[in-house]
Amino acid sequence: MRCRNSLEGRRFIDVNKAKHGRTLKLKHKSQRSQLTRLINDIEAAFTRDSVTEEQLCILNGRLNQLYADLRATGSDIVPQLSTTEADAEFDRVLNYHDRATATSAKLKYRIRQLQEPRNLATPAASTERVHPGTEGEH
């Protein structure tokens, strides 16, 4: 039975950590690209008159899920960054957070706008009571 050198074991762990770090960075980059494309798609949807409430709700769900995934991946990456890299990363995080939050707010506003005509078309229940047999009597 051969004993593994502790230095050899450390090197193996360091290589795995480096591979994992690169994989996380690639995943994070991909998620950021997806988020940017989705936000651009949402902005384009705002310019179309034919966009439906359902389409906007789906876009909002996708935006929220993708942003949550991006945040989770970012949390995994930050401990592996140098101080300089972390500083730049925090600036990017704030930018993506601002864009995602603003876009989500716009989506919710637009959804409410689409719901308003429906709410106006539904008459409110009358609080005035009509007694049987007294309609039209003076």
Q: How many domains is the chain built from? A: 1
Nearest to 61 by CA among 33, 30, 38, 93: 38
Answer whether residue 67 is part of any domain.
yes
Q: Model confidence over 62-106: pLDDT tens digits?
A: 999 999 999 999 999 989 889 999 899 999 999 999 999 999 999
pTM (2 decimals)? 0.71
pLDDT of residue 80: 87
**Rounded to a whole number, what is the distance in angstroms from the first to the last CA of the chain?**
109
The pLDDT of residue 130 is above 70: no
The pLDDT of residue 1 is above 60: no
Say how far apart CA 51 and CA 114 lie, in whole Å: 9
Answer whether residue 61 is part of any domain.
yes
Do 58 and 111 touch, CB atoms closer than 8 A? no
Q: Which domain holds residue 107?
A: 53-116
DSSP H helices, 78-138, are: 83-121
Answer whether residue 1 is part of any domain.
no
